[in-house]
Amino acid sequence: MAQVTVRYWAAAKAAAGVAEEPYDAADLAGVLTAVRERHPGELERVLLRSSFLVDGDPVGTRAHETVRLAEGGTVEVLPPFAGG
């Protein structure tokens, strides 16, 4: 297990009610499960549409169980952004 900081942006930040918080997890799937348990409701829906950065690297289409987390790392939750 690694302790990481999860940072929420835009709609994810609004749904979580905080900008960031610590979690202990071994991989991205584990940390997202913990996030869903802590914040049931709207944040769960936002996560379905979000992309993720782990220590600055895009996760892309990789299975979340394969994305290992490093001690002191950061997971960024990026919901779709409107623009034009």
Whether 74 is covered by a domain: the verdict is: yes
pTM of the model: 0.94
| Structure confidence at residue 81 (pLDDT) | 78
In order along its 84 residues, the chain shows pLDDT tens digits of 999 999 999 999 999 999 999 999 999 999 999 999 999 999 999 999 999 999 999 999 999 999 999 999 999 999 987 655
CA angle 60, 61, 66 (to 5 degrees): 95
Whether 55 is covered by a domain: the verdict is: yes
- How many structural domains are present in the chain? 1
Q: Which domain holds residue 71?
A: 2-78
Whether 62 is covered by a domain: the verdict is: yes
Whether 83 is covered by a domain: the verdict is: no
Q: How far is CA 66 from the centre of its chain?
A: 15
Structure tokens at 2: 């690694």
Whether 67 is covered by a domain: the verdict is: yes
